[in-house]
Amino acid sequence: MSALLAVALHLPVALHSAVALHMAVALHMADSLQVAAVLHRSAPLAPAPLWRTLHQPLALQLVVVAGGLALIAAELWWFLGRHGLAVAAHADEAGVQEITITVDGGYLPSKIQALAGRPLRLAFHRLDPSGCLAQVIFPDFHKTLDLPLGDTTSLELPPTPAGVYPFHCGMAMVRGVLEVVDPAA
């Protein structure tokens, strides 16, 4: 659901960028035409209209549209894609799996693997002063953790069934995922 919301929020921004780029190209070309007319004195210069539509070559239009779509794709990949390899949590003597996640511009690692049916401790060490990262939320566990700057704050999870459990910052812009796998599998 929040993924859909992020897409809905970002598509207009990316489209707007594409349109703005398109208009910048059009205005630049309008300037060039004016300059060319002055230099060549080919015709008396009519008062420059405030606004006019320039017909762009089809190739240029295709390039602008393709550029916009590439930006949208890159943005979706950045915010919604899963990158990198999972890092496994290691069990201590008491059998509690533990991993430290550094919070600095993102979650490092952002993909964590743990074994099902064993307790898990996720220790978040926050180095990033951005208020955006002051909280980490695990929607599936109904847990919100406040992360004081410069401190390590742990989330203790009871033995958890296998599954994929995403987590994110307070505004759902920075994301990570906990993958709990069956030890027998």
Which residues are near Cu ion by CB under 5 A?
132, 169, 171, 173
Q: How far apart are CA 97 and CA 115, in angstroms?
A: 8
**From the CB of 154, what's the least distance to Cu ion, in Å?**
20
Q: How far apart are CA 85 and CA 181, in angstroms?
A: 15
**From the CB of 6, what's the least distance to Cu ion, in Å?**
11
The nearer residue to Cu ion, 75 or 98, going by C-beta atoms, is: 75
**From the CB of 43, what's the least distance to Cu ion, in Å?**
57
Structure-block tokens of residue 62: 């295709």
- Are the C-beta atoms of 176 and 111 separated by less than 8 Å? yes
The nearer residue to Cu ion, 29 or 173, going by C-beta atoms, is: 173
**From the CB of 77, what's the least distance to Cu ion, in Å?**
18
The nearer residue to Cu ion, 132 or 149, going by C-beta atoms, is: 132
Q: How far is CA 126 from CA 48, 94, 136, 167, in A?
A: 57, 26, 10, 15
The nearer residue to Cu ion, 115 or 174, going by C-beta atoms, is: 174
